[in-house]
Chains A and B, each alone.
Chain A
Amino acid sequence: MAFRSGRRLGWVAFFCGPAAVLYTVFVVVPLATALWYSFYGWQGTTRGAPAGMANYAAVLGDYPYQEQVLKAFWHNVVFFAGTMLVQNTVGLGLAVLLHRNPRGKRMFQTLYSLPYLISPLVVGYLWSMMLSPAFGPVNAGLQAVGLDGLTRPWLGDPAIALPVVVLVNAWQWIGCPMLIFGAALAAVPAEMEEAAVIDGASAWKAFWQVRFPLIMPAVGAVTLLTFVGCFNVFDLVFALGGSSGGPGQSMDVLGLLFYRIAFQGGVNAIGLSSALAMVMFVVVFGVALVVDRSLRRREVPW
């Protein structure tokens, strides 16, 4: 028995080893390094004296970082809420439509998922060209049909820049919730909803009270993925608004702020940016845990 379990352990190590090594080298080590770095003052790339929590205090408490962090954090929150609202509800709607009408399902799934094969940087540059007031087809199209009043500087208008980012992001990723919800819907036996309908429930009620609770695990997964994606977003916003997130920093997010501190941040850039990175990690990880727990509680067994 001992021999067999030893051999089994060997196989486990054989199959999991490479992944574990890669994970350690590329995830655990950089994380630990950032944590370590964040407790020191830095002179360029030379590590200075231990600084205790000073870097954290500076990033979270000092002017002007505090304001910037709060503003960027709020933008991340809005970005997440908007994405949940637009991308995931529309994604769910599309999944339901395709589930009910299997005609052309493959084609539509492929079409809707195509944009996420493109790098977010490319998507950002494409859309910044489309939305450009100087040459962009969006304003030109509106003018062509006589809707001049609706033309906007889009990414340069602080009131609508962030919603525009939400829409562009949704345009790219809508295929993701659609596929996940689609798979989850397909896994729910049709009899359950049919039984509800026979009992007199409307289609609306049957969906929300029978089918939807059964796809809760998928809802949880999509919510978590959206949350992590929205709080770590960088490339799309960078392409749309540059490193300061557009005029008036109306699209500034934590990822951009980190970039600015790390690469344009002066002598102690490593200390401050590592501290901010750790704060971001703790927030994303912590909230993800809480969200995961609370969503799991709402899942129904069947």
Chain B
Amino acid sequence: MRRFIAGVLSMVIAGGVAACSPGAGAADGDVKLSVWGWRTEDVTVYNKIFEKFEGTHPGIDVEYRAYKNTEYNTILQTGLSGDSGPDLAQLRAYGELQPAIASGGLLALDAAVPRLASFPAATLDGARGRADGKIYGVPFAIQTMHVVYNKKLFADNGVAPPQTWQQMLDGAATLQRKKIIPFAVNVRDDWMIPIEHEIFGATRYGGAAFEKRVLAGEAKFTDPDYVASIETYAGTSKYWQPQFSGVGYEDAKALFVSGKAAMFPGGVWELAGFRKSAPDIELGIFSVPPSPGAVLDKAVTPGFVDGSFGVATRTRSKDEAVELARWMATPEFGQAFSDQLIQISAVPGTAPTDPLLKQAFDAYTANPSPYLMYADFSYGTPPGAEVLRTNVSAVLLGTGNATDAAKELQRSVDTWFKPRG
């Protein structure tokens, strides 16, 4: 009996060892690169894009593996510090990227990927390590923020995309008279609040010009212009859906795609979802014109880097992984990314083919504005966006005012932010 058990055990162990031994699956000698990401919906398209790379690089197999969006950060952290992690990984941007860099799981790519030098500095900021200033990923996408509108509802009611702030309010008033909700706005899931604030308030506080001064320590969030930008944004709530504070993200989108609301302030990332759930609605976008008293005299388009692809320190195929990262910085990858994933590629020399995305991209290229709370104030805890959304929602609910909201933001940022100047 004992001998029988020992026999079974040894067979099990031998089988286990054979299954785990390296090279078991790569009998053909190919190098396999595993790229991790959070876009579960894009796995097929990514793998198709990587086929181009495999075509010109025989002997390298690339596989894109996606994990659940909300759990990705944790999974990646674990992967980067263990032996069964990825060779390359899709990385979050700005402050959200820093923990992965701090654990030493990523290679600096400044020297390894020379093409990075051709990327605009503002784009590279999304992949920069705060502590050493090095670049840890090849940025892949730019996201921009606009007001998305329903072209038919606009045309039926004689409303045109506005050229001035007053035209925007007049159009909203017209729609409201005709029992159409002008703006479907998400307040209950308050993460959208800093985004909506940028869309309506960027011209008021000064966008990139303010960013420069606040980073240099010459301006503060308590400055009258920034305070007024919160008021400007909150002032549009007259034209939001009734009882807006109880309406969540999914509800607000549903109001827009069901044709009950004519406009939805949000990012270009919403377009794909809108097209899918309401293919018959013709979509348009516009950037909000400067508000009364605005620091800037023309409409700006807020935007930010969505993320980048970095190389894991623990990869066993460093040369091949770096080669793939280099390829991801070429227009060949950028254009394929843009065309097949319908997103705005971050690679210089590419442009979206989709007309709406092209419009978004052109507007952003002509007059960009930062997503301040993400690009510059996501590096401490709690992140600026969290403080802003809590305090601005108090303004929207009527339990607080813009001056106090700005004061709280400054107070919280002061606990970790050091001006560059």
- Residues of A that sit less than 8 Å from B by CB: 43-46, 62-64, 68, 128, 131-135, 139, 151-158, 241-244, 246-249, 260-261, 263-269, 272
Q: Point out the residues of chain B lying under 8 angstroms from A132, CB to CB.
A: 246-248, 251
Q: How far is the CB of B5 from chain A (nearest CB, A)?
A: 19
Q: Is B317 part of the binding interface, using a Cβ–Cβ cutoff of 8 Å?
A: no
In whole angstroms, what is the CA distance A45 to B100 when docked?
8
**Inter-subunit contact B187/A260 (CB<8 Å):** no
Decide if B78 touches A45 in the complex (CB within 8 Å).
yes
A248 touches B394 (CB 8 A): yes
Q: Which 9 pairs from chain A and chain B are nearest by CB?
A: A153-B246, A156-B245, A156-B246, A44-B103, A44-B99, A133-B243, A247-B393, A43-B102, A153-B243
Q: A68-B382, A133-B246, A249-B390 are in contact. List 9 more A-B contacts (CB 8 A).
A: A44-B102, A62-B415, A64-B408, A133-B242, A134-B251, A242-B189, A248-B399, A264-B382, A264-B383
> How far, in Å, is B96 (CB) from chain A's closest CB?
8
Complexed CA–CA distance, A119 and B290 (Å): 47
**Residue B287 CB within 8 A of the other chain:** no
Closest CB in chain A relative to B270 CB, distance in Å: 17
**Chain B residue, CB-CB nearest to A132:** B251
Contact A152 B243, beta carbon cutoff 8 Å: yes
When distances are taken between beta carbons in the complex, the residues of chain A under 8 Å from B389 are 244
The 6 sampled A-B contact pairs (Cβ below 8 Å) are: A44-B77, A45-B103, A133-B247, A155-B246, A247-B393, A268-B381
- Residues of chain A lying within 8 A (CB to CB) of residue B383: 264, 266
The proximity string for B residues 94-112 relative to A, scoring 1 for CB distances below 8 Å and 0 otherwise, is: 0110111111110000000
B168 contacts the other chain (Cβ, under 8 Å)? no
Bound Cα distance from A55 to B103, whole angstroms:
19
Q: Bound state CA distance, A265 and B96, in angstroms?
A: 9
A244–B391 CA distance with the chains assembled, in angstroms: 12
Q: When the two chains form the complex, which single residue of B74, B78, B260 contacts A263, counting CB atoms closer than 8 Å?
A: B74
Chain A residues positioned under 8 Å from B339 (CB to CB) = none
- Are B248 and A267 in contact, with the CB atoms below 8 A? no
Cα–Cα distance between A132 and B258 once the two chains are bound (Å): 15
Please, which residues of chain A bring their CB within 8 A of the CB of B400? Answer: 248
Using CB atoms, name the residue of chain A closest to B390.
A249
Nearest residue in A to B70 (C-beta to C-beta)? Answer: A263
Choice from B188, B248, B251, B382 contacting A260 with Cβ under 8 Å: B382
B165 at interface by CB-CB < 8 Å: no
- Do A128 and B245 touch (CB < 8 A)? no
CB distance from B265 to the nearest CB of A (A): 16
Q: Which of B350-396 contact A (CB under 8 A)?
A: 379-383, 386-387, 389-390, 393-394, 396
- B190 close to A247 (CB less than 8 A): yes
Q: Complex Cα distance A267/B105, Å?
A: 13
Residues in A with CB closer than 8 Å to B335 are none
CA distance A260 to B80 in the complex (A): 22
A116 CB to nearest chain B CB (Å): 24
B401 within 8 A of A: no
B380 & A156 in contact (Cβ 8 Å cutoff): no
CA distance A62 to B100 in the complex (A): 25
* B143 on the A face (CB < 8 A): no
Interface centre among B95, B188, B394, B397 (most CB of A within 10 A): B188
Chain A min CB distance to B381 (Å): 4
Q: Check if A244 sits within 8 Å of B100, measured CB to CB.
A: no
Q: Which residues of A contact B176 (CB under 8 A)?
A: none
Docked CA distance A63–B412 (Å): 7
B82 CB to nearest A CB, Å:
10
Contact with A along B400-420 (1 / 0, CB 8 A): 100000001001100100000
Counting CB contacts under 8 A, is B191 at the interface?
yes
Contact A133 B241 (CB under 8 A): yes
User: Smallest distance from the beta carbon of B144 to chain A beta carbons, Å?
Assistant: 23
Q: How far is the CA of A46 from the CA of B95 in the complex (A)?
A: 17
CB of B203 within 8 Å of the partner chain: no
Instruction: Write the chain A residue with the least CB distance to B95.
Output: A266
Shortest CB-to-CB span from B410 to chain A, Å, is: 12
Q: A43-B102, A241-B188 are in contact. Are A266 and B242 (CB under 8 A)?
A: no
Given A134-B254, A153-B244, check contact A266 B379 (CB 8 Å): yes
CB distance from A244 to the nearest CB of B (A): 6
Nearest CB of chain A from residue B139's CB, rounded to whole Å:
20
Contact present for A260 and B386 (CB under 8 Å):
yes
Beyond A133-B247, A244-B390, is A45–B187 a contact (Cβ under 8 Å)?
no
Q: Across the interface, which residues of B come within 8 angstroms of A249, CB to CB?
A: 390, 393
Residue B174 lies at the interface, judged by CB distance under 8 Å to chain A? no
Task: Decide yes or no whether B255 CB sits under 8 A from chain A.
Answer: yes
Is B73 in the interface zone, CB < 8 Å from A? yes
Q: How far is the CA of A228 from the CA of B186 in the complex (A)?
A: 33
Bound-state CA distance A244–B190 (Å) is: 7
Asked if residues A267 and B102 are in contact (CB atoms below 8 Å), the reply is: yes
Alpha-carbon distance A241/B190, docked complex (angstroms): 9
Residue of A nearest to B380 (CB): A266
Smallest beta-carbon distance B255→chain A, Å: 5
